[in-house]
């Protein structure tokens, strides 16, 4: 009984442990490893999540991000490593003994229950009166903005509405941790963006520690407090969205967060770098490290003009493809040097004059402080 009652009340802990809980991360993962047969799906993952944070786990499909989430939930058993939640070790507990709510990509709503009865599902085993339960369900429906849809069945709700019901259902037992497994991937682009913001608002309002798995870097960058980039079962980098975008740890992270021109470095002397047949001058901040294999820059860092711009060393090229992106143009430029690979540039659509067209000869330059040197892997 005592265990069930915790759903609605703040359990008073000894003062010392509460202080410790504030100092220590809410969720702490150490050396977590999971194998399926001979394949290592999650490999020696270490991760701390402070209370109240929204953490996104980002990676391509098959990188182990969903398995990591399922390990935290207890749907899979880890081969080694520990998971501590609110100070206690949970890695040996079955899912029903852990303290989390979960939202799936497929919504996984109970098809034979109305929105209200889906949300109330977990409350049924609690010692609540009918009115208490109904009040709690109303509150949750209001939280996700579905007041008028209490009696509709999942088949009568839109995808976005279904996912809101799933979110309310996951929050019904006031869990300490919210797990979101690609919650927006099944939705249309428009609904996805608005539900993404709503999700973030709800998460902020109730201050629940949350871990969201996604393969969509825009989604991760736009709502996460911090992002974990995973690849082949390993964590490549952890950081705030801005850190990841501006200072990717390696080429994989750089490429996964957005398109990047990566030119193999052939020589470095001082702040002059030869890469991919071009010559670049670095700004002050990029300390070239000896093993740096690639000189990288985002397409948006590229300037197109008739003359080489200021600090950067320019190179001439011919426009080999043009794509119209609304307010911007995406150009592929074939340099006029031997062995030079094509460069990608994204430039604002010019307000005056003609935009560069197919076959035009242009000069390409990059601001020195937009260049960075990266290794193939971190």
Partner 1 sequence: MAEISAVSGTAARQVRPDPTGQIVPPVLLVVLATATLLPIGALLVRAFLGKDGAFVGLDNFLRYGAEPGLVIAAWNSLSLSMIATVIAMALAFPFAYALVRTAMPGRGIFRLIALLPLLAPSLLPAFGLVYLFGNQGWLKGWLLGESLYGPVGIILASVFYAFPHAVLILSAGLSAGDQRHYEAARALRAGPWRRFVTVTLPSCRYAAISAASIAFILVFTDFGIPSVVGGSTNVLATDIYKLVIGRFDFEMGAVVGVLLLLPAIVAYAIDWLARKSQRAMITGKSVPIRAERLPLRDLVLFLFATLVAIAILGIIGMAIFGSLVKFWPYNLSLGLQNYERLFSDADEFRALGNSLILAFGTALAGTGLVALSGWLIARKLGNGMIRNGLQGVAMMPVAVPGLVLGLGYVFFFNNPANPLHALQGSLALIILCTVAHFYTVPHLMVVNELLRLDREIDLAAQALRIGPAGTARRIHGSVLLPTLIDVAGYFFVNAMTTVSALIFLFTAQTRPASIAVINLVEGSRIGQASAFAVVIMVLSMVAACIQLTLRHLVIRAQGWRRQTP
Q: Smallest gap, in angstroms, from Cβ of residue 78 to partner 1?
A: 16
* CA atoms of 340 and 260, how far apart (whole Å): 16
Q: Smallest gap, in angstroms, from Cβ of residue 268 to partner 1?
A: 50
End-to-end CA distance of the chain: 49
2 part of the interface to partner 1, by CB under 8 A? yes
Site string for partner 1, 268-307 (x = CB under 8 A): ----------------------------------------
Q: Which is nearer to partner 1, 42 or 123 (CB)?
A: 123
72 part of the interface to partner 1, by CB under 8 A? no
65 part of the interface to partner 1, by CB under 8 A? no
Residues 322 and 357: beta-carbon distance below 8 Å: yes
Among 49, 78, 170, 251, the residue binding partner 1 under the rule CB under 8 A is 170
Q: Smallest gap, in angstroms, from Cβ of residue 125 to partner 1?
A: 6
113 part of the interface to partner 1, by CB under 8 A? yes
71 part of the interface to partner 1, by CB under 8 A? no
198 part of the interface to partner 1, by CB under 8 A? no
* CA atoms of 240 and 172, how far apart (whole Å): 29
129 part of the interface to partner 1, by CB under 8 A? no
For residue 268, which of 119, 152, 150, 371 has the smallest C-alpha distance?
Answer: 371
Neighbours of 204 (CB within 10 A): 14
Neighbours of 332 (CB within 10 A): 17
Neighbours of 373 (CB within 10 A): 19
Among 38, 61, 88, 269, the residue binding partner 1 under the rule CB under 8 A is 88
Among 30, 44, 82, 121, the residue binding partner 1 under the rule CB under 8 A is 121
Interacting residues toward partner 1 by CB under 8 A: 2-4, 6-13, 73, 75, 84-88, 90, 93-102, 104, 106, 108-114, 121-122, 124-125, 136, 139-140, 143, 153-158, 166, 169-177, 205-207
């Amino acid at each position: 009984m005592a265990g069930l009652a915790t759903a609605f009340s703040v359990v008073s802990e000894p003062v010392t442990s509460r202080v410790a809980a504030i100092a220590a991360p809410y969720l702490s993962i150490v050396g977590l490893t999971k194998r399926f047969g001979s394949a290592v799906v999650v490999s020696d993952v270490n991760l701390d999540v402070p209370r109240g944070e929204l953490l996104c786990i980002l990676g391509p499909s098959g990188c182990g991000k969903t398995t990591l989430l399922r390990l935290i939930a207890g749907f899979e058993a880890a081969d080694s490593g520990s998971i501590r939640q609110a100070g206690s070790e949970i890695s040996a507990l079955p899912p029903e003994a852990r303290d989390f709510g979960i939202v799936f990509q497929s919504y996984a709503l109970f098809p034979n229950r109305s929105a209200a009865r889906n949300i109330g599902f977990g409350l049924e085993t609690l010692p609540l009166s009918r009115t208490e339960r109904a009040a709690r369900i109303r509150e949750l429906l209001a939280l996700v903005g579905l007041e008028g849809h209490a009696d509709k069945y999942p088949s009568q709700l839109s995808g976005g509405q279904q996912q809101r019901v799933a979110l309310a259902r996951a929050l019904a037992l006031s869990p300490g941790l919210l797990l979101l497994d690609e919650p927006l991937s099944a939705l249309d682009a428009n609904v996805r963006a608005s539900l993404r913001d709503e999700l973030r608002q709800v998460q902020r309002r109730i201050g629940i520690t949350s871990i969201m798995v996604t393969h969509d870097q825009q989604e991760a960058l736009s709502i996460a407090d911090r992002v974990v980039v995973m690849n082949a079962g390993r964590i490549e980098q952890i950081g705030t969205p801005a850190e990841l975008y501006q200072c990717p740890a390696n080429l994989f992270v750089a490429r996964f967060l957005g398109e990047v021109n990566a030119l193999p470095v052939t020589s470095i002397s001082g702040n002059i770098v030869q890469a991919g047949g071009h010559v670049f001058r670095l700004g002050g901040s990029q300390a070239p490290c000896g093993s740096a294999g690639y000189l990288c820059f985002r397409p948006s860092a590229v300037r197109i003009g008739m003359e080489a711009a200021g600090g950067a060393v320019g190179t001439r090229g011919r426009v080999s493809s043009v794509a119209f992106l609304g307010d911007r143009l995406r150009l592929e430029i074939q340099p006029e040097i031997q062995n030079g690979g094509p460069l990608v540039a994204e430039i604002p659509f010019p307000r005056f004059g003609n935009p560069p067209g197919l076959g035009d000869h242009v000069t390409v330059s990059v601001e020195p402080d937009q260049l960075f040197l990266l290794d193939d892997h971190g």
